[in-house]
Amino acid sequence: MSSDNEICGMDAVALARAIRGKKLSPVEVVEACLKRMEQLEPTLHAFCTPAPDLARRQARDIEARLAKGETVGPLAGVPVAIKDLVCSAGIRTVSGSIAYLDFIPEEDDVAVERLKKAGAVILGKTNVPEFGYSGVSHNPVFETTRNPWNTDLTSGGSSAGSAVAVATREAPFAIGSDGGGSIRIPSAHCGVFGMKASMGRVPLYPCCRDERYPGVSSWESIEHVGPISRTVADSALMLSVIAGPDDRDRHSLPAPNFDWMECVAGDLKGLKVAYSPDWGYAAVDPQVRRIVGDAVKVFERDLGCHVEIAHPGWEDPFVAFWGLVAMDTDLRGMRAMVAKHGAQMSPHLVEFIQRPWTAEELTDAMVARKAVVNKMWKFMRKYDLLLTPTLAVPPFAVHVQGPEKIEDRMVATTQWLAFVFPINMTGQPAASIPAGFTDDGLPVGLQIVGRHLDDPLVLKASAAFEKAKPWSSRRPPVLDQKSSKPTSTR
């Protein structure tokens, strides 16, 4: 019999194999995860709504089916955490807002529906900033999610709890969503792998939209649902289950002509790779520059790529990006929500909703997106991959939206996100992989961007780097503490 620590240390691929081979019991696996959650959650607050009774019930069902010799899905008995912006039938989905405090969806998101069909066991919902309109880890309702590498710091967001749950082995992998970097941001800050597959690979429905709770809608033209995991193969495994067309999402792509699990094999010799350390305009923390620069050298020195510094050439599209968010937001419904609950909502969200957006600002955003897309496809015709830092800074203090000074320059508190949101504007596949650690032991991410629809190469490049510079065995300090004590967040 494996110990709880051994079980929690196993990746999803290994767990799925062991459970199907009856070397591990689904109940045994779930209990190990629940014990880890019981130990760590008073400090980390990764889960806002744990679902231990549901998890145990699902695990017992899988165990009974295996005992009867029934055919089970590829994720049978494997625990998974679900971001609290992603609908889960019968499980409260608060989205970090007082307005949704008692919202229990009546239907699953497509990704959750597919995970359950594949036999995955749901551990619960993971914490987010309010409605995901932020890249950090706090909201007005729940305790703040803490970074397991230093609990005084943010885990990033908006898939905050999902990344922390994976980094601390509370769950082998988790569902995140990414409208402007929200899978890649916390993956970078927590030292795990996260992938935003091509726009439309994973269908979006209903996300957090519900007619009984008007005012919230997914960011339809820029949002992606996807995996966060400790290994690249685990994300490929999840994508093999949740990706594929669905008529509930008009943007969903046809079934791919590749096998997700085969994408993690092969070498990168001879590929032409662009490296943009700063887009040509962004302030970047010196340690991030150094760590990411060293990681890029691995692609040339160890993986056989031809790497050159180059930039796509656009000007900072941040204002246009938020115009796209505004277009994808139910402003009428959200303004009604602010009128009712505004005093208990996040100030930055209230300000965004109450802003008097003009038609010209919204059409300017669409024009700017087209310009970014055109710059990018022309640029990517010269390169197989594009590498950048995932974020401009390492993790910073909780309860702020971002640092005001980077690289001795005063910047907007959103500037640290400069590398992620443009890739939502283009819809290309992109992943964040652990690149290394600062002198203080904080994780730094490297972003790998592929050509339009070239998800296989992003996974292959990520797996090749993982093999050359493994990261999954490095453990956050919180895992080596003998006891976890609650941390005040108020």
Token representation of residue 299: 């692609």
With cut-offs at 50, 70 and 90, classify the pLDDT of residue 465.
very high
Helix orientation angle between 12-20 and 232-242, rounded to the nearest 10 degrees:
70
| More confident call, 485 vs 155 | 155
Residue 146 lies in a domain: yes
| CA 419 remoteness from chain centre | 15
CB 324 within 8 A of CB 364: no
Residue 83 is among the residues annotated as catalytic for this protein: yes
Res 2: pLDDT: 82
Q: Which residue matches tokens 């303004």?
A: 335
With cut-offs at 50, 70 and 90, classify the pLDDT of residue 370.
very high
Residue 489 lies in a domain: no
CB 133 within 8 A of CB 177: no
Residue 485 lies in a domain: no
CB 88 within 8 A of CB 112: yes
pTM for this entry: 0.97
Res 490: pLDDT: 29
Res 481: pLDDT: 77
Tally the C-alpha atoms within 13 A of residue 133's C-alpha that lie toward its C-beta: 26
In degrees, rounded to 5, the angle at the alpha carbon of residue 158 between the alpha carbons of residues 165 and 332 is 140
CB 36 within 8 A of CB 5: no
**CATH at 305:** 3.90.1300.10
Q: Which of 153, 147, 407 is nearest to 290 (CA)?
A: 407
C-alpha distance from residue 6 to each of 24, 25, 84, 172, 203 (Å)? 11, 14, 28, 12, 34
Res 213: pLDDT: 62
> What mean pLDDT comes out for the span 18-44?
98
- How long is the chain? 490
Residue 158 is among the residues annotated as catalytic for this protein: yes
Q: Which helix (H) or strand (E) holds 228?
A: strand 224-229
335 pLDDT exceeds 90?
yes
| CA 250 remoteness from chain centre | 22
- Summarised one tens digit per residue, pLDDT across range 259-308 is 999 999 999 999 999 999 999 999 999 999 999 999 999 999 999 999 99
- The domain tally of the chain equals 1
162 pLDDT exceeds 70?
yes
CB 243 within 8 A of CB 484: no
Residue 488 lies in a domain: no
With cut-offs at 50, 70 and 90, classify the pLDDT of residue 218.
confident
Question: Which segments of 286-365 are extended strands (E)?
Answer: 306-309
CB 46 within 8 A of CB 144: no
> What mean pLDDT comes out for the span 141-150?
98
Res 449: pLDDT: 99
Q: Classify 479 as helix, strand or coil.
A: helix
Res 282: pLDDT: 98
Res 214: pLDDT: 61
CB 273 within 8 A of CB 387: yes
- Summarised one tens digit per residue, pLDDT across range 399-452 is 999 999 999 999 999 999 999 999 999 999 999 999 999 999 999 999 999 999
Cα separation, 91 vs 105, whole angstroms: 7
Q: Classify 177 as helix, strand or coil.
A: strand
Q: Which of 25, 83, 229, 240 is catalytic?
A: 83
> What mean pLDDT comes out for the span 166-177?
98
Res 483: pLDDT: 45
- Nearest 10 degrees: Cα torsion 336, 339, 345, 347: 110
DSSP state of 391: -
Contacts of 53 (CB under 8 A, 6+ apart): none
Residue 190 lies in a domain: yes
Q: Which of 88, 158, 229, 252 is catalytic?
A: 158
Token representation of residue 174: 């988790």
Q: Which of 155, 182, 252, 276 is catalytic?
A: 182
**Arithmetic mean of pLDDT over the chain:** 95
Cα separation, 442 vs 358, whole angstroms: 41
Residue 267 lies in a domain: yes
Q: Which residues lie across from 308 on neighbouring strands?
A: 274
Res 348: pLDDT: 97
Residue 392 lies in a domain: yes
With cut-offs at 50, 70 and 90, classify the pLDDT of residue 482.
low
Residue 486 lies in a domain: no
In which domain, by residue range, is 55 found? Answer: 4-480
Res 485: pLDDT: 44
Q: Classify 222 as helix, strand or coil.
A: coil
